Amino acid sequence: MRALVLLTLVGCTGKPSDDSSPPPQDSEPNDSVDSVPIDSVDSVPPEDSVDSVDSQPVVIDNDADGSPVEEDCNDADPAIYPGATDVPCDQVDANCDGVGEADIVLIGETRYASVSEALTAATDGDTIDVCPGIHVENLEIATAITLTINGYSGSYVDTELDGGSVGPVLALGEGVDLTLSNIGIVNGLATWRNETDVQTGGGIYANGAWVRLSNVQFYENTAQDYGAGIAVRLDDSGNTGLSVDGCVFHDNHASDSGGAIAVLGSDNADVTVSASTFTDNRAPTYGGAIYVGGDGLEATIDGSDFTTNSTSSNRSYGGAIGTADADVELTVTDSTFSGNTAGRNGAALGLTSSRAVLTADGCTFSANNAYQSGAGMYLESDDFSAEINNSSFASNVSSTDAGGVEIVGGGSAWFDTVSFTDNAAGNAGGGGGATDIRRGFTVATKAQSGTTRSEEHTSELQSHSDLVCRLLLEK
């Protein structure tokens, strides 16, 4: 009995129950204590929600241009980003539109991958800007249109149209009015055209078109017949012509005539060449540099230089400029002819025409060499008129007659303030070193004193190596 009571006491340690104590009461909230619901106190979010709270998208913009790497096509260059200004012809896709590196050609702001593609899209009056580089294409403009093709950089050294030696660089049809500027024309090859022109026009062939050239370089173009650099066939419509300004022609080769330029056709067409240079152009027959073969053409050459151009055959005329069987009016002013050669006559100028009118003013003819006659100038026509003013002939050499000037045929010629110095003719007893006047001309020499004498075939005059005079030659 006692043991049982003891066990009961041990198991109930603590304050003995007092039945008289009031029952526990629920505590009332105390407004003065900040009570926070248990669930909201320093609660730790579930593990799977940590990333959504702490991590935001990370923006990487290495070049700090405002475009993230995933949008920027070059995140190492702050000038390249979507919306940037894309400079034409720099071969850089600055605005990330995917076309900048293919901007070979432009019409306005529209870009094309080739010149031929741009020509297909062009409309009347358009300007096609060609980016720097070598563009190997054989182009044709067959329908009437007015266009400008321009080298975008402004230099013919930077931008070239290359015919690839398989065809002409440009072929132009009737009614085309083309302005070509700041560009190079190279490796053109004349191909078959028609029964008349055959293989004519290596760099450019133009039939019934207007061609305007400014700051264009032609080199290493070839033609089996006429016009290795450019051949133009003009007509009497008044809508054809050739204008050449500030251009360079060198190392072009025609197998007949017109190493650099051949002008063919009829009257009522203008041909002008100004401030241009012609060097080492070759043709065996007429016009190592320029051949004029049309009837009734008026050609003007001003401020241009002709150096070491040549014709080679024993029937050739005009190492620099030549005509053949043409009715032509040629004016040459303020130009120089040096070191040109002719296989026969007229190393600098060789004109053989049914009717010819020649004016030369302010020109220099020096060190030209003809294998037969008229190294400086050879003029032959049945109806000839020439005025040579304020010009000089020096150190020109002919193997046969007239190192300076030879005139053959009927007509008249005036020489005013013209000097002949150290010109030579190799044929003993042939023509004079300065001039050789043949076929019944009367020579009048007006000396500085004002006295006049008239002689026929004056040997004294023909043998002069130094001469400043005014001559009137009459049939």
Report the 3 state secondary structure along 172-210. Answer: ECCCCEEEEEEEEEECCECCECCCCCCECCCCEEEECCE
Residue 429 and residue 438: Cα distance in Å, rounded?
14
Residue 139 and residue 115: Cα distance in Å, rounded?
8
Residue 408 and residue 37: Cα distance in Å, rounded?
128
What's the pLDDT at 453?
A: 27
What's the pLDDT at 99?
A: 65
Residue 469: which of 434, 451, 445 has the closest Cα? 445
The two beta strands, 110-112 and 336-338, are unpaired
Residue 409: which of 366, 433, 374 has the closest Cα? 374
The number of beta carbons lying within 10 Å of the beta carbon of residue 158 is 18
Residue 89 makes CB contacts below 8 A (sequence gap 6+) with: 103, 106, 129, 131, 132, 152, 153
Burial label, 27 (beta-carbon count in 10 A; 0-12, 13-18, 19+): exposed
What's the pLDDT at 186?
A: 98
Q: What is the largest CA-CA distance in the chain?
A: 185
- pTM across the whole model: 0.78
> One-letter amino acid identity for 167?
G
DSSP structural state of residue 289: S
In tens digits, the chain (475 residues) has pLDDT values of: 344 334 333 444 444 444 544 555 544 444 444 444 544 445 555 555 545 545 677 888 787 878 888 887 787 888 778 877 777 777 777 777 776 555 678 888 888 889 999 999 999 999 999 999 999 999 999 999 999 999 999 999 999 999 999 999 999 999 999 999 999 999 999 987 776 667 899 999 999 999 999 999 999 999 999 999 999 998 878 789 999 999 999 999 999 999 999 999 876 678 999 999 999 999 999 999 999 987 778 899 999 999 999 999 888 899 999 998 778 889 999 999 999 999 999 999 999 887 888 999 999 999 999 998 889 999 888 888 889 999 999 999 998 888 888 888 777 888 888 888 888 887 633 344 555 444 433 333 322 222 222 233 333 333 333 333 333 333 3
DSSP structural state of residue 462: H
| 205 neighbors 190 (Cβ within 8 angstroms) | yes
What's the pLDDT at 332?
A: 98
| 149 neighbors 128 (Cβ within 8 angstroms) | yes
Residue 441 makes CB contacts below 8 A (sequence gap 6+) with: 407, 456, 457, 473, 474, 475
- CA-to-CA separations, 236 to 208, 265, 268, 270, in angstroms, rounded: 9, 8, 5, 10
What's the pLDDT at 29?
A: 47
Provide the b/e sequence for 393-418 (b: ≥16 CB within 10 Å). bbbbbbbbbbbbbbbbbebebebbeb
What's the pLDDT at 45?
A: 53
- CA-to-CA separations, 365 to 52, 124, 149, 265, in angstroms, rounded: 92, 44, 36, 29
What's the pLDDT at 166?
A: 96
Distance of CA 321 to the CA centre of its chain: 23
Give the angle 336-340-344 at the CA atoms, nearest 5°: 130
Q: What are phi and psi of 406, to 5 degrees?
A: -120, 130
The two beta strands, 336-338 and 364-366, are parallel
| Tokens 């009837």 sit on residue | 295
Residue 350 makes CB contacts below 8 A (sequence gap 6+) with: 286, 287, 311, 316, 317, 318, 319, 321, 322, 323, 342, 344, 374, 377, 378
